[in-house]
Structure 1
């Protein structure tokens, strides 16, 4: 079940409708879009759009069946999802000039939408301190630490910068360099297996967004 009416960290998602033969990590898939916002030539916030695969969406979609987005029960489900994301600091490592940057603990906004058989979760998180864009280097990784959930950008077009700087900054999307042994270990894990925390498994499989601005 995914984010039912109780607090469950993202990496404990249970695919109750998954096929029995699907046992290897990852078990669930999220396609991401990300954009950065700016104010007064400084990065101010990061905006995410997370699209869950149909099987991952199925349980929560059942909870929302027949409800409209303004229904209190829909709002409650949105809040539960957001609370679980906050428990893991937005599942994001954001580095500015080589130093990890913190987000505000309260998101600017969030909401949940349905798209066919999939659910999409939108949210915006602001930085505690705005970050000057000029002569900056940013690195971003978004991942589930356990690698129970695969969180990926389908392509670089899913990553956008503020229009006023997009033409001058360089954005790249780098795939993780995974060893055969690590890949074999991850894919051998059953959904009930406990991942060795020291391996930082999800981080090892995480894509890296690299942004260079003059």
Structure 2
């Protein structure tokens, strides 16, 4: 994945001077269709500072108002520009996504903005004798995208009957952490460094 779009990082900006500058708490549900893995329903909760501009623009608009739909479309366009900031691999084959989500929504939860959407797979994937590796990350590590705990990962009943799920959180060495801390908003790590991926959690879905 390429360095995150400027419009996305400007939207998710804070007063901090080291990477990451923004934080997204994620929840993901693996969903099925006709005994196949068909996609993932994601819920991204942004930190309060990151959310401030979005919530200011939304004002006192009620859920479902046109202002929320316009804001959701703007944010979703940036997410789509980076292929949902997500990679799914089955062995050495990368699973492709459809270019448009089946549904998406932006809302308010207290002082935080919440983006919900479904990542649709281009082709439904078999649930038998397969293992999938999933990572969601901002390549530049401007935004830290994380699962707070394994309970943030759920499966619908069909997926649950075939698969088990594990969450692995990496432990980057101190030199990499110090490098990330040395970057300010105007800095971007070399593209081939894959800085964000080195901090990214890995979800493993093993199906039998």
Q: TM-score range by the shorter chain?
A: over 0.9
- Bigger mean CA deviation after superposition, 85-94 or 190-199: 190-199
The one-character-per-residue Cα deviations of 1:157-191 (angstroms, maximum 9, x if unpaired) are 00011213325522111012312211110111111
User: Structure 1 residue 43 and structure 2 residue 41: aligned?
Assistant: no
Partner Cα distance (1:204, 1:84) in 2: 22
Alignment of 1:42-121 (within 5 A): 42-121=36-115
Q: Tell me the matched-pair count.
A: 204
Question: Is contact 1:91-1:143 (8 Å) kept?
Answer: yes
Q: How does 1:5-20 map to 2 (within 5 A)?
A: 8-13=6-11, 15=13, 18=15
1:210 deviation in Å? 0.5
Structure 1 Cα separation of the partners of residues 59 and 114 of structure 2: 15
For the 8 Å contact 2:30–2:159, the answer to whether it is kept is no
Structure 1: gaps of 5 or more residues: 1-6
8 A contact 1:54–1:117 mirrored in 2: yes
**2:97 partner SS:** coil
Of the candidates 135, 142, 145, which is equivalent to residue 141 of structure 1? Answer: 135
Whole-Å Cα distance in 1 between the matches of residues 121 and 185 of structure 2?
Answer: 34
CA, structure 1 residues 109+14, in 2 after alignment: closer, same or farther (shift >3 Å)? closer
Provide structure 2 residue ranges, at least 5 long, that are not aligned to the other structure: none
Shift of 1:14: 5.2
